[in-house]
């Protein structure tokens, strides 16, 4: 049975939300929207469901549509479920010059999925993204908050193997920074 | 040894921490600045000739002096750490390695501008750097370098780091302000300029990470001494992000005025083109600037050696020159396909267009499709003229310069590499250079 759990931030995350809100002048709390949506992805399985976005709107005392329009604008917000490990491979010019296409093809073949898809076990999602300010160490990919650079097939095997072993959800705003 | 101002202490173990940074003289320049009157700091920055390192190269001291100062209205300094211009990775390097240099620059600059709250807007992908900065900020609060009465003065400042969430356009300063207000990153129509109406409608200065970091050595050595480094109106040092087909990619701090040839071939910098290959082309200032073939990047049409300065790189205008831009120096050797690279960049601009202006929203998509058609073997000769026509109708006709940034690579690729388009079209897409090196090669 799938019991719908109530949507609410953990007490640690809520404390962080209040800290973030205090950084902006009175009445400008909407400014905290982007950081709070990152936290929401960390807290709620790596993506933003309509229910989660409504919850955030409620927290910030703004209209739900103000959250939807922002969430759909920024590429880091996932509006559909993603695997535990979201692999973001840079495909822009300088990385491409150094073989980013090979990296994408290699991962596609290895995992049996295409760009944008998730493995059936829900472990990996592959996504191509734009320049991540790491062009001097191309080709590269990001997983959670970690940059993996100067990629080779062997390195990719090791890296993905490690995440599979870990078998935990990784997010851009790492859980450890919420607990701290 | 070339002079290092920003990366001087790069190799000092532990320089990320406040203690080690202070052992190297860190925050002494803040102390010095706090003993000056704010306008005197702006004056030094003016004298230094420092130009914005974010891409446009606008004189920083002049920008600061435009800041409106209506009584009773807060003013803001916002640091642009969005760094999303393809080929650029110097700000990440600086923030990650020496976070306190940026913070010291932020405090000094905020004091000069009379801002009591300032923000560093960092792109969301750089979340690990966000946490490095947050830790450094926490250290500063604990040491009395932020908060009330900094270093015993009567100046108070709150400094916050704020993360974006993936959007190249948020590097454009008015889009960045919208984003910092918790909205979509749609650039604003100017005027009003941020100096008059910026963050939450208040006067705001937006400066690049490297620009703000450079204020620290300017206070240390004085504006005149800083201006003595470099050539003409290209003063001081500049961080160059070097990538592509070179032996030693990385971030290099150069004194402005180094010959391009030396930058590419000397072991001090890029160490030459990989595998001893021939230099085909360079995009010298991030993906938005015109591409130049190897011979034109090394020498101007007058036969003079080209230098790494704003002026020398621009020599010849768009006919035969380019721009220093953000300093994202992308090198391509003889194996690179100019058309495929252009398709990739054009796809990028189409993906990143915010969609407010039709020429940018539609034009970038059309150009992407035509380039794809040519690469796919279905190109016709008239497509080249069509591409030219479209780019010319984007340039200068949009709200923000992303439109220009999408147009210039297309125009310059056609101008300098028309033969490669023709070759592809005539051969039905078959004559295509090995587009990129595989791992084995
Ligand atoms: C599409 C676009 C993207 C930009 N991206 C950046 C960026 O990532 N970082 C940056 O500092 N400036 C960027 N700029 C330039 C800024 O609008 C602004 O000029 C700069 O932050 C001013 O700082 P500076 O005077 O210190 O260079 C961008 C401009 C445009 C049009
Ligand atoms: S030029 Fe492009 S990115 Fe800039 S405002 Fe217009 S549509 Fe948006
Ligand atoms: S192009 Fe991949 S990190 Fe810049």
B162/A contact by beta carbon, under 8 A: yes
Q: Find all residues with CB under 8 Å of B435, minimum gap 6, and list them.
A: A96, A101, B335, B336, B337, B340, B341
Burial B110-139 (b: 16+ CB within 10 A, else e): bbbbebebbbbbbbbbbbbbbbbbbebbeb
Mutate to test the interface with B, among A31, A79, A133 (most CBs of B within 10 A): A133
Q: Which helix (H) or strand (E) holds B345?
A: helix B338-352
State the DSSP code for B234: E
Residue A104: pLDDT over 70: yes
Residue B430: predicted pLDDT: 79
Nearest atom in ligand 3 to the alpha carbon of residue A92 is: 1
What is the phi/psi pair of residue A146, to 5°?
-100, 135
Q: Per DSSP, what are the bridge partners of residue B80?
A: B121, B208
Q: Are B338 and B291 in contact (CB under 8 A)?
A: yes
pLDDT, one tens digit per residue, over A27-37 is 999 999 999 99
Mutate to test the interface with A, among B88, B123, B182 (most CBs of A within 10 A): B182
Cα B32 to Cα B37: distance, rounded to the nearest angstrom: 10
Q: Is B214 in the pocket of ligand 1 (CB under 6 A)?
A: no
Q: Are B24 and B254 in contact (CB under 8 A)?
A: no
Cα B52 to Cα B326: distance, rounded to the nearest angstrom: 9
Here the tokens at position B155 are 């100046």
Residue A4: pLDDT over 70: no
Cα B83 to Cα B209: distance, rounded to the nearest angstrom: 9
Whole-model pTM: value is 0.97
Cα B103 to Cα B218: distance, rounded to the nearest angstrom: 15
pLDDT, one tens digit per residue, over A78-89 is 999 999 999 999
Task: Decide if A133 and B84 are in contact by the 8 Å CB cutoff.
Answer: yes
CATH number of this structure's domain A11-73: 1.10.10.1590
Residue B441: predicted pLDDT: 30
ipTM surpasses cut 0.95: yes
Query: Residues of chain B with pLDDT > 70: what percent?
Result: 97
CA B213 / ligand 1 centre spacing (Å): 15
Q: Helix or strand or coil: residue B298?
A: helix
Cα B186 to Cα B377: distance, rounded to the nearest angstrom: 36
Q: Are A8 and A55 in contact (CB under 8 A)?
A: yes
Q: Find all residues with CB under 8 Å of B56, minimum gap 6, and list them.
A: none
Q: Helix or strand or coil: residue B333?
A: strand
Q: Are A19 and B158 in contact (CB under 8 A)?
A: no
Mean model confidence pLDDT for chain B: 96
Q: Are B338 and B346 in contact (CB under 8 A)?
A: no
Q: Are B89 and A136 in contact (CB under 8 A)?
A: yes
Mean model confidence pLDDT for chain A: 96
Q: Which of B171, B173, B365, B403 to mutate to test the pocket of ligand 2 (most atoms within 8 A of CB)?
A: B403
Q: Chain A neighbours among B 79-108 (CB < 8 Å)?
A: 83-89, 91-92
Flag residues of chain B having pLDDT under 50: 435-441
Burial A55-84 (b: 16+ CB within 10 A, else e): bbbebbebeeebbbebbebbbbbbeeebbb
Measured torsion, CA atoms of residues B298, B301, B303, B309, in degrees rounded to the nearest 10: -50
Residue A5: predicted pLDDT: 66
Residue whose C-alpha is closest to residue B136's, from B156, B107, B179: B107
Q: Which residues of B touch A69 (CB under 8 A)?
A: 184
B332/A contact by beta carbon, under 8 A: yes
Residue B429: predicted pLDDT: 85
Q: Which helix (H) or strand (E) holds B415?
A: helix B402-426
Query: Which protein residue's CA is at the shortest distance from atom 4 of ligand 2?
Result: B400
Nearest atom in ligand 2 to the alpha carbon of residue B175 is: 5
Strands B291-293 and B279-283: antiparallel
Identify the architecture of domain A85-169 in CATH. Answer: 3-Layer(aba) Sandwich (3.40)
First to last CA, chain A: 34
Residue whose C-alpha is closest to residue A99's, from B437, B101, B337, B410: B437
pLDDT, one tens digit per residue, over A116-139 is 999 999 999 999 999 999 999 999
What is the phi/psi pair of residue B95, to 5°?
-70, -35
Q: Which residues of B touch A66 (CB under 8 A)?
A: 182-183
Domain ranges in chain A?
A: 11-73, 85-169
Place of tokens 């969301």: B124
- The minimal CB distance from A94 to the residues B86, B124, B439 is found for B86
Residue A180: predicted pLDDT: 63
Residue A1: predicted pLDDT: 46
């Amino acid at each position: 049975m799938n019991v719908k759990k109530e949507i609410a931030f953990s007490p640690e995350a809520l404390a962080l939300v209040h800290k973030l809100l205090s950084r902006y002048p009175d009445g400008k709390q909407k400014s905290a929207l982007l950081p709070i949506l990152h936290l929401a992805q960390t807290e709620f399985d790596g993506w933003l469901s309509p229910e989660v976005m409504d919850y955030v709107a409620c927290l910030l005392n703004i209209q739900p549509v103000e959250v939807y329009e922002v969430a759909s604008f920024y590429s880091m917000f996932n509006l559909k479920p993603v695997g535990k490990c979201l692999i973001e491979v840079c495909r822009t010019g300088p990385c491409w010059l150094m073989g980013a296409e090979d990296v994408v093809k290699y991962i596609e073949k290895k995992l049996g999925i295409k760009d944008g898809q998730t493995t059936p076990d829900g472990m990996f999602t592959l996504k191509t993204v734009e320049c991540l300010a790491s062009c001097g160490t191309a080709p590269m990919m990001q997983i959670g908050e970690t940059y993996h650079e100067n990629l080779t097939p062997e390195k990719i095997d090791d890296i993905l193997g490690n995440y599979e072993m870990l078998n935990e959800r990784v997010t851009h705003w790492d859980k450890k920074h919420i607990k701290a | 040894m070339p002079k290092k101002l920003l990366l001087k202490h790069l190799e000092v173990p532990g320089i990320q921490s406040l203690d080690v940074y202070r052992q190297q003289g860190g925050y002494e320049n803040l102390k010095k600045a706090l003993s000056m009157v704010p306008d005197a700091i702006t004056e030094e920055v003016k004298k230094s000739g420092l130009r914005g390192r974010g891409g446009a190269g606008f004189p920083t001291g002049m920008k600061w002096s435009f800041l409106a100062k209506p009584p009773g209205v807060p003013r803001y300094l916002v640091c642009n750490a969005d760094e999303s211009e393809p080929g650029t990775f110097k700000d990440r390097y600086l923030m990650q390695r020496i976070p306190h240099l940026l913070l010291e620059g932020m405090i000094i600059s905020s004091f000069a501008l009379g801002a009591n709250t300032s923000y560093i807007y960092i792109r969301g992908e750089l979340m690990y750097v966000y946490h490095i900065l947050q830790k450094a900020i926490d250290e500063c609060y604990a040491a009395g370098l932020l908060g009330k009465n900094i270093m015993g003065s009567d100046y108070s400042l709150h400094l916050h780091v704020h993360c974006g969430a993936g959007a190249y356009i948020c590097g454009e300063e008015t889009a960045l302000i919208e984003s910092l207000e918790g909205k979509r990153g749609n650039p604003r129509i100017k005027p009003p300029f941020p100096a008059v109406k910026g963050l939450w409608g208040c006067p705001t200065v937006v400066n690049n990470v490297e620009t703000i970091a450079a204020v620290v050595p300017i206070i240390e050595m004085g504006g005149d001494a800083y201006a003595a480094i470099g050539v003409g109106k290209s003063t001081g040092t500049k961080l160059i992000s070097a990538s592509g087909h070179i032996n030693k990619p990385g971030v290099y701090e150069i004194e402005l005025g180094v010959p391009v040839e030396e930058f590419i071939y000397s072991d001090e910098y890029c160490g030459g083109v990989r595998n001893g290959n021939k230099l085909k082309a360079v995009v010298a200032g991030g993906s938005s600037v015109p591409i130049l073939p190897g011979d034109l990047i090394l020498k101007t049409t007058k036969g003079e050696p080209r230098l790494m300065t704003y002026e020398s790189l621009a020599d010849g205008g768009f006919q035969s020159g380019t721009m220093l831009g953000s300093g994202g120096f992308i090198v391509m050797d003889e194996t690179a396909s100019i058309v495929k690279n252009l398709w990739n960049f054009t796809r990028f601009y189409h993906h990143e267009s915010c969609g407010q202006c039709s020429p940018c929203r539609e034009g970038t998509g059309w150009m992407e499709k035509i380039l794809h058609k040519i690469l796919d073997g279905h190109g016709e000769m008239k497509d080249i003229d069509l591409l030219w026509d479209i780019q010319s109708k984007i340039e200068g006709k949009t709200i923000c310069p992303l439109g220009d940034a999408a147009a210039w690579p297309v125009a310059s690729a056609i101008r300098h590499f028309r033969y490669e388009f023709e070759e592809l079209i005539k051969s039905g897409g078959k004559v295509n250079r090995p587009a990129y090196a595989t791992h084995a090669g």
